[in-house]
Structure 1
Amino acid sequence: MKERTDLYIKFIGPAFNEMVDKIVFTYKFTSLPNIDSLREECKIWLMTILGKYDPNRGSAAFSYFSVITKNWFIHKVKKQQKQNKREVDLYNISKSYEEQYLSTEESYLTHREEDEFWKEFYTELKSWDTTQMKENDLKVYKAILILFESKDDIDIFNKKAIYLYLREITGLNTKQIVNSLKKFRKRYYNFKQDWDVGAI
Structure 2
Amino acid sequence: MSRCYARQRLGFVAALTGLIASVGLLNGPAASAALPTPVSAATARSYLSSLTVATENHTGYNRDLFPLWITVSGTCNTRETVLERDGTNVVTDSSCAATSGSWYSPYDGATWTAASDLDIDHLVPLAEAWDSGAGKWTTARRQAFANDLTRPQLLAVTDNVNQAKGDQDPATWVPSRSAYVCTYVRAWVQVKYYYGLSVDSAEKSALQGYLANC
State the TM-score, normalizing by the size of structure 2.
Answer: 0.25
- Give the number of the structure whose residues are more often strand, by fraction: 2
Q: Higher relative contact order at CA 8 Å, sep ≥6: structure 1 or structure 2? A: 2
TM-score (norm 1): 0.26
Structure holding more helix per residue: 1
Question: Which protein has the larger Cα radius of gyration, Structure 1 or Structure 2?
Answer: 2
